[in-house]
Amino acid sequence: MLQVDNLSTGYGRTQVLWDLSLKVDEGEFVALVGANGAGKTTLLRTISGVMKPWPGSGQITFDGKRIDTLDSNGIVNLGLSHIPESRKLFTAMSIRENLEMGAYPRRSWKERNKTMEEVFELFPRLRERSGQLARTLSGGEQQMLAMGRGLMSRPRMVIVDEPSNGLAPKIVTEVFEILQSMRSTGMTILLVEQNVRQTLQIADRAYVLENGRMALQGVCSMLRESDHVRKAYLGL
């Protein structure tokens, strides 16, 4: 469904990603793990059109269509949703209004009420507080809202950036359970996470990104046994 081929990019003259390739098949749950500053967020921003690959560096395709030439709006309309790091909520708007903002593509807006009910089923606390301003929510509730907003466009695939960042351990466990619930519906997921231990327990495959380059890739059961992963990321 998603394929990245030989991608290089960066900020100004500073290169962040070098000749990077990955793929995600339909219905797969794929993780991208690595230390802070490895380039994980930069990759997601480039996939979703916020950044562009450097000229001549490669291409990105989604469902067979090239998307690295499109803006973010066009990419969302194709069915790819980006749930960003640090939530990026509209804090002066209510939960319901934030969710409606996620349904702005024309095909999604027509079904927004049905989709909102589905989101409320997944996140019951959001239903209870639907009129509450986003800025009054706890960190865990804000993450739920960010994930729910990402689902409002009725995507075929979601890319999720650091959903556990800054959350208490109990809430982290809940977020991972929600990701598994999303996966059980057939959603295709690309997850970026620093919590390598829990991520390798729930994903199908994973890529290990180090200093802007792919260091390892494989099924998660294999990576959990890798000496490099165990020493560098699992503390074993």
Confirm whether 61 is domain-assigned. Answer: yes
Number of folded domains that form the chain: 1
Handedness of CA 97, 107, 140, 40 (dihedral sign): negative
Percent of the chain with pLDDT over 90: 81
Half-sphere CA count of 101, side-chain side, radius 13 A: 16
pLDDT tens-digit map of 49-104: 999 999 999 999 999 999 999 999 999 999 999 998 888 899 999 999 999 999 98
Q: What are phi and psi of 220, to 5 degrees?
A: -65, -35
Q: Averaged over 15-43, what is the pLDDT?
A: 95
d(C-alpha 76, C-alpha 70), whole Å = 10
Query: Is 49 part of any domain?
Result: yes
Least trusted range by pLDDT, from 4-18, 138-152, 166-180, 216-230: 166-180
Domain membership flag for residue 145: no
Q: How far is CA 147 from CA 12, 86, 101, 144, in A?
A: 31, 11, 13, 5
Q: What angle do CA 37, 158, 233 make, to 5 degrees?
A: 35
Residue 28: give its domain's CATH number: 3.40.50.300
The verdict on residue 45 lying in a domain is: yes
215 assigned to some structural domain: yes
pLDDT confidence band for 126 (50 / 70 / 90): very high
Question: Is residue 195 assigned to a domain?
Answer: yes
* pLDDT, tens digit, 9 for 90 and up, residues 188-225: 999 998 889 999 999 999 999 999 999 999 999 999 99
Those residues whose C-beta lies under 8 Å from the C-beta of residue 162, and which sit 6 or more positions away, are 40, 41, 85, 86, 192, 193, 194
Q: In angstroms, rounded to a whole number, what is the distance separating the alpha carbons of residues 138 and 86? A: 13
Contact present, 158 and 187 (Cβ < 8 Å)? yes
Range of the domain at 233: 1-79+157-163+188-236
Quick check: 116 pLDDT over 80?
A: yes
Q: Is residue 36 in some structural domain?
A: yes
Residue 230 lies in a domain: yes
pLDDT of 154 above 60: yes
- What amino acid occupies position 186? G
Residues 138-147 have a mean pLDDT of 92
